[in-house]
A and B are shown apart, each in its own frame.
Chain A
Amino acid sequence: MPRELQEVVFVDGVRTPFGKAGEKGMYAQTRADDLVVKCVRELLRRHPELPKERVEEVAIAATTQIGDQGLTLGRLTGLLSGLPKSTPGYSIDRMCAGAMTAVTNVSSSIGVGAIDVAVAGGVEHMGRHPMGEGVDPNPRIVAERLVDESALVMGRTAENLHDRFPELTKERCDAFAVGSQRKLAAAYEAGHVQPDLVPVATRHVEKGWGLATVDEPPRPGTTLEELATLRTPFRPHGNVTAGNAAGLNDGATACLLASQAAADELGLPVRMRLVSYAFVGVEPEVMGIGPVPATEKALAKAGLTIEDIGLFELNEAFAVQVLSFLDHFGIADDDERVNPWGGAIATGHPLASSGVRLMTQLARHFEAHPEVRYGLTAMCIGIGMGGAVIWENPQHADYGKDA
Chain B
Amino acid sequence: MTTTAPEAHAEVVTHSPVQDVVLPGGAGVLALVTLDNGKDHTRPTTFGPESVAGLQETFDSLRARAEAGEIQAAAVTGKPFVFAVGADLSGVPTVTDRAQALEIARAGHRAFATFADLPVPTFAFVNGAAMGGGVELALSATYRTVSAGVPAFALPETFLGLLPGWGGCWLLPRLVGPEHALTVIAANPLSQNRMLPAKDVARLGIADVLLEPADFLEDSLRWAAAVLTGEVSVDRAPVDLDDAQAWDAACDAARKNALAKTAGRSPGVLRAIDLVRAARTSDREEAFAAEDEALGDLVMSDELRAGLYAFDLVQKRAKRPAGAPDKALARPVTKVGVVGAGLMASQLALLFARRLGVPVVMTDLDEERVTTGVESVHREVEALLEKRRVSPDQASFLTRAVTGSTSKDGFADADLVIEAVFEEMSVKQQVFAEVEAVVSPECVLMTNTSSLSVTEMASRLEHPERVVGFHFFNPVAVMPLLEIVPGERTDEATLATAFATGKALRKTCIRSKDTASFVVNRLLGRFMGEYSRIVDEGTPVEVADRAVAGLAPMPPFVLLGLVGPAIALHNSETLHRAFGDRFHVSPTLRRVVEAGKRGYYLTDERGRPVPDPEVEAMREQPAEPVVLEVDEVRERVLGAIAEEVGIMLADGVVEAPMDIDLAMITGAGFQFWNGGIIPLLDREGVTERVLGRRVLPRGVASVLA
Residues of A within 8 A of B (CB): 37-38, 41, 80-82, 198-201, 203, 205-211, 213
Contacts and interface: CB of A to CB of B under 8 A. Distances in A.
A interface majority secondary structure? loop
A209 B217 contact: yes
Contacts of A209: 19, 32, 34, 77, 217
Nearest to B39: A205
B221 interface: yes
A201 B218 CA distance: 6
Nearest 6 CB-CB pairs, A to B?
A208-B34, A208-B17, A201-B217, A210-B19, A211-B21, A209-B34
B32 A41 contact: no
A37 B214 contact: yes
Contact of B32 (A38, A80, A210, A213): A210
B36 interface: yes
Contacts of A213: 22
B32 A82 contact: no
B218 A38 contact: yes
A30 to B, nearest CB: 11
Contacts of A205: 36, 38, 79
Contacts of A201: 215, 217-218, 221
B137 interface: no
Nearest to A210: B19
Contact of A203 (B33, B80, B222): B80
Contacts of A199: 24, 218, 221-222
B interface majority secondary structure? mixed
Interface of B: 15-19, 21-22, 24, 32-34, 36, 38, 77, 79-80, 212, 214-215, 217-218, 221-222
Contact of A200 (B16, B80, B212, B218): B218
B231 to A, nearest CB: 16
Nearest to A42: B215
Contacts of B221: 199, 201, 211
B439 to A, nearest CB: 42
Given A38-B215, A200-B218, A208 B19 contact: yes
Max chain B C-beta neighbours (<10 A), residue from A38, A198, A199, A209: A209
Contact of A207 (B17, B21, B214): B17
A59 to B, nearest CB: 19
Given A206-B17, A208-B18, A80 B214 contact: yes
Contacts of B24: 199
16 contacts: A38-B215, A81-B214, A82-B212, A198-B218, A199-B218, A201-B217, A203-B79, A205-B36, A205-B38, A205-B79, A206-B17, A207-B19, A208-B19, A209-B32, A210-B19, A211-B32
B326 to A, nearest CB: 34
Contacts of B21: 210-211
B209 to A, nearest CB: 15
Nearest to A206: B17
Given A199-B24, A203-B80, A213-B22, A208 B218 contact: no
Contacts of A198: 218
A36 to B, nearest CB: 12
Contacts of A211: 19, 21-22, 32, 217-218, 221
B214 A41 contact: yes
A121 to B, nearest CB: 15
A131 to B, nearest CB: 28
Given A199-B218, A209-B32, 12 more contacts: A37-B215, A41-B214, A41-B215, A81-B214, A82-B212, A198-B218, A201-B218, A205-B36, A208-B17, A208-B34, A210-B19, A211-B218
Contacts of B214: 37, 41, 80-82
A38 B33 CA distance: 22
Nearest to A202: B19
A211 B33 CA distance: 12
A206 B19 CA distance: 11
A81 B215 CA distance: 9
A41 B222 CA distance: 14
A340 to B, nearest CB: 25
Contacts of A38: 215, 218
Max chain B C-beta neighbours (<10 A), residue from A41, A203, A205, A207: A205
A72 B530 CA distance: 66
Contacts of B32: 208-211
A350 to B, nearest CB: 19
Contacts of A207: 17, 19
A210 to B, nearest CB: 4
Given A199-B24, A199-B221, A203-B80, A208 B215 contact: no
A98 B218 CA distance: 27
B78 to A, nearest CB: 9
A200 B215 CA distance: 8
B80 to A, nearest CB: 7
B24 to A, nearest CB: 7
Max chain A C-beta neighbours (<10 A), residue from B21, B77, B80: B21
Contacts of A203: 79-80
A380 B39 CA distance: 42
Contacts of A81: 214
A72 to B, nearest CB: 18
Contacts of B34: 208-209
Nearest to B22: A213
Nearest to B32: A209
Nearest to B21: A211
B136 to A, nearest CB: 20
Nearest to B20: A210
B633 to A, nearest CB: 58
A211 B221 CA distance: 9
Nearest to B78: A209
Contacts of B16: 208
Nearest to A203: B80
